Structure formats: structure tokens, C-alpha cells
Amino acid sequence: MAFNIGLSGIRAAASDLNITGNNIANAGTVGFKSSRAEFADVYAASVLGSGSNATGSGVALSNAAQLFNQGNISFTENSLDLAINGNGFFVTSNNGAISYTRAGYFGTDSSGYIVNNAGERLQGFAVNAVTGQINQGVQTDLRVDTRSADPNATSTVESTLNLNSTQTRPAVWRQQYDAAYATSIATAADPANPTAAEIATAEAAGQAAAATTFDPTNSATYNSSTSVTIYDSLGNSHVMTKYFVKNDANSWDMYVLIDGRDVQSGVEATDPAFDPTTTTRFDVDFNSVGELTTDQPYTLSGWVPLDSEGQPTGADSPVNNLTINLTGSSQYASSFAVTAVNQDGFTTGELAGLEIDDAGMLVARYTNGQTRVQGQVVLATFANQQGLTPLGNTAWAQSSASGEPVIGAPTTGTLGGIQSGALEESNVDISEQLINLIVAQRNYQANAKTIQTEDAVTQAIINLR
């Protein structure tokens, strides 16, 4: 009996050494989870039980349990290196065969699919092509779309600015206005005492004459200007410039040119045919406390996108809904300043990089400054992680003991978050494993001593005559 007991002890110690050695060998394996040997005593028993004086029959390896505690997070320079901070497993597919892993070595294959170093495809939720929203619950192979981002034509230009209330009308504006006003009054029945109608006519003549003085190429003909880049439907960029000319105490004229051309006719400001009286102009009025009173937004119609040669670009222009909004603008006694500007168009863009946030959102970043969600990484958790079947290559498979996987988005429920540009290190504690080696060695030696002693006793019995 003692031979079998000692032999079971040796086998148990050898199993402990194997498990400890495997832990040490995988101390540098990303996503590896250490194991421990769990032993149970053995008793010989009959149908009626083992009796109260049973001495035991040795030891057996009850389980090689894996410990799924968190490993340290180490950061890398690869945005597709992923680490799970908390509970859960990455889900991967090999031609439909599903496995689960904590190792976040991911990259892209020749078809753009996100794969691990074994070529298995990372699973996630795809994006609805129509709504652009994540299709929650529809699991698929995640793929990076490397196509260029489509351009978007500008439809709204928003600006918040302050026009300096202390500024006066441009000198040339004032001169033309005064000259035309004086000429009109001179034709009155009694120039010394003109009627209200005659004064109104003279003012209109002055305004009309002053309007001819606006010249985008001459800064002396306007008070302030500001520009913003806009885009047509092909992604061509154009410069919209707004010029402000003060014409009364709380009233301004806003002229709008695109690429230095009249919006309606396309005539360049440097062309002798340029006519400031037909240039797109809007009234900008304020009240006595500097608040904008003109209804917003302004609608800019009739624009046809032109190239540098003055020829149509072939783009569809938002001529029917391009708006300019100055909501929030003011007229105070301070220098002209633009405090905010925004337009909703952009040119085409090439894929510049990928980012994955803690919720698993796969976000593509483009050279035009835009971003687009291309999918969401999913995680899986199990009722009994210890019941998972190890497959090697730091992967596990579902089993009847583990239960069905619960699939969900990171940071939801009990699932952890994802750290992009990082990897989860092995959770092996080398110091602890080295101590386990010493303990296993002592156990092996002690059980060998049991066999040696039993051998000596047996030999003594054999030597009896």
C-alpha cells in the first residue's frame, strides 16, 4: 500500500512541477493566465463506505485550475494592440470556429479584416450603411474600410463676430454719398428748405452713389473683412469672404464674394466689368445696445462653383440652401473680432489612422479632419470561466461546463473596458512560481523517501528466515 501511496505522491508532485514550469515558461506570453494544481486525498471505499479507520490511499490531481485575475497593462505604439481592463474575452472566428482570448495582438490582413497573429478574425458589431449607427446584437467580422471619405458640400456658414461701433463710414463712401445728396437737394424746389420727400430722395441717391464705391481690392472702401474656406460637392475648396461697410449708426452692409468673384455673375473683383451695385449684399442691423436685430440666417443663392480659370468645376453647388448665420454677433465699442466660425463642409480625405475607445468603438480618422465609426469590438463573458476549454495559442473554447457566452459591448454590464495601444501581460508571478518549484521538489523527495522506506521494510520482511 505504501508503494502506491508514495507513487501517487510522486505523480502529484510531478504534476505540480509541470504546471509550475508551464507558468514560468509563459511568464512573457501576452494574455496568458496562470494555473495552479489542486489536489485531493484518495480513500479506498466499498459500497458500504470506507469505514471510520480508513488510512487513505494517497493523493490525486483534482484540477489544474486557471486563474483569470487581471494582468498588468503595458502600452505599445500600435493602435490595434488591445487590452481588456476588467472582465471579458475577445471573440475571434476562424472560418466560423469561435474562440475566446485575452491576447490583444491585432492587425489587418490583405482584405482589411482585423485579425490576430493566428489569422483569426476579431468579432464585433457592424455599422448600418444607411443610418451610420451600430447594429447592436449583429455579430460579424470587423473590417477596416480603407476607401476615401466622401466630400460634403458646405450648406451652412456660421460666424460670431463683433463690429466696432466706433468706426465711421469709409471716407470714399462718405464723399460719394455727400456729393450725390447735395446734387439731389440742389434740384429741390427750395434747396434751403427741402421737403421730407425730397430729403428721402436725396438720401436714396446718396446711398446709391456710395454703393458704387465698394471695391474688394481696396481696403479703404470697407471697414472690416473675414474669410472662411467652404467646399462644393466634389470637395473643391473655395474661399468665402465677407466685407462689412458701415452705412449708418447701427447699420452695416455685408458684401459676400467667393474666390474673389461676384456670387451671381462669377466676375472677378479685379475685372473692369465687376459691378459693386449688383454684388451680393445683405443688411446687418443692430439695436442701441449692440444686439443683432436682422433675422438670421441669410440665404445665398445663385452660386456656381468655378475653378481658378473661371470655369465650372462640374460640382453640384448648394445654391438653394447655402446660408450665412451671424447669430450672436454684436456691435460694441471694441475692435473688430471674429470669436467663432464654423462651416459644415469638408473635402475628400484619405484614411490617416484608427482609434478604438474604451467602449470598443472602431473610429477611422481621415486627412480632412473627419472621423467615422466603422464598427464596435464585442467582448464575451461566461458564468463559469474555469469551465472553458484551453485550445493553446492563448485561446479558449466554450464548453458545457462554462455555459453559454454573454456577448456585449465593452463597459456594459459586467464587461470591462478596452485599452487601445496596449497589451495585457501574463498574470504569472515569477517569485511565487519559484517558491512553488521548491515546494514541489520537497514533496517529490518526501514521497520518494516513503517508497524508499517501504522498500527497506519489505526487504527486512523478505530477509526473515
Same domain, 375 and 273: no
- The residue that leads in pLDDT, 57 or 202, is 202
Domain membership of residue 433 (yes or no) is no
Same domain, 178 and 308: no
Same domain, 244 and 264: yes
Q: Which of 313, 343, 373 is the last residue of a domain?
A: 343
Q: What is the mean pLDDT of residues 165-193?
A: 90
Q: What percent of the chain has pLDDT over 90?
A: 62
pLDDT one-digit tens code per residue, 12-27: 888 889 999 999 999 9
Q: How confident is the model at residue 240 (pLDDT cuts 50, 70, 90)?
A: very high
pLDDT one-digit tens code per residue, 90-122: 999 999 999 999 999 999 999 999 999 999 999
- Whether pLDDT at 47 is above 80: no
- Whether pLDDT at 396 is above 90: yes
* Ramachandran quadrant class, 266 (left: phi over 0; alpha: psi -120 to 50; beta: rest): left
- Whether pLDDT at 131 is above 70: yes
Q: What is the mean pLDDT of residues 82-86?
A: 95
- Whether pLDDT at 45 is above 70: no
Domain membership of residue 271 (yes or no) is yes
- Whether pLDDT at 53 is above 70: no
Q: What is the pLDDT of residue 51?
A: 58
Q: What is the pLDDT of residue 454?
A: 78
Same domain, 163 and 305: yes
Same domain, 181 and 132: no
Say what the alpha-carbon torsion angle 72, 75, 79, 83 is, to the nearest 10 degrees. Answer: 0
* Number of helical H runs and strand E runs in the chain: 4, 29
Domain membership of residue 339 (yes or no) is yes
Q: What is the pLDDT of residue 387?
A: 92
Same domain, 160 and 175: no
- Whether pLDDT at 269 is above 60: yes
pLDDT one-digit tens code per residue, 412-452: 999 999 999 999 999 999 999 999 999 988 988 888 888 88
Same domain, 294 and 185: no
Q: Does residue 346 sit in helix, strand or coil? A: strand
* Class of residue 306 by CB neighbours under 10 A (exposed 0-12, middle 13-18, buried 19+): buried
Mean pLDDT of all residues in the chain? 90
Same domain, 281 and 364: no
Domain membership of residue 395 (yes or no) is yes
- Whether pLDDT at 255 is above 60: yes
Q: What is the pLDDT of residue 188?
A: 86
- Whether pLDDT at 6 is above 80: no
- Whether pLDDT at 317 is above 60: no
Q: Which ranges of 212-311 would DSSP assign to H, the alpha helix?
A: none
Q: What is the mean pLDDT of residues 126-155?
A: 88
CA-to-CA distance for 413 and 86, rounded, in angstroms? 11
- Whether pLDDT at 52 is above 80: no
Q: What is the pLDDT of residue 323?
A: 93
Q: What is the pLDDT of residue 318?
A: 52
Instruction: Write the CB contacts of 342 (distance below 8 Å, at least 6 apart in sequence).
Output: 157, 158, 159
Same domain, 42 and 84: no
In Å, the largest CA–CA distance within the chain is: 162
Domain membership of residue 439 (yes or no) is no
Domain membership of residue 444 (yes or no) is no
* Type of residue found at 422: A
pLDDT one-digit tens code per residue, 297-306: 999 888 888 8
Domain membership of residue 263 (yes or no) is yes
Q: Does residue 219 sit in helix, strand or coil? A: helix
Same domain, 272 and 226: yes
Cis before 297 (ω within 30) = yes
* Ramachandran quadrant class, 346 (left: phi over 0; alpha: psi -120 to 50; beta: rest): beta
Same domain, 163 and 283: yes
- Whether pLDDT at 86 is above 80: yes
Q: Which ranges of 266-339 would DSSP assign to H, the alpha helix?
A: none
Q: What is the pLDDT of residue 49?
A: 57
Q: Which domain holds residue 194?
A: 171-212
- The residue that leads in pLDDT, 255 or 12, is 255
Q: What is the pLDDT of residue 136?
A: 85
Same domain, 331 and 232: yes
- The domain total for the chain is 4
Domain membership of residue 349 (yes or no) is no
Structural element, H or E, at residue 18: helix 2-25
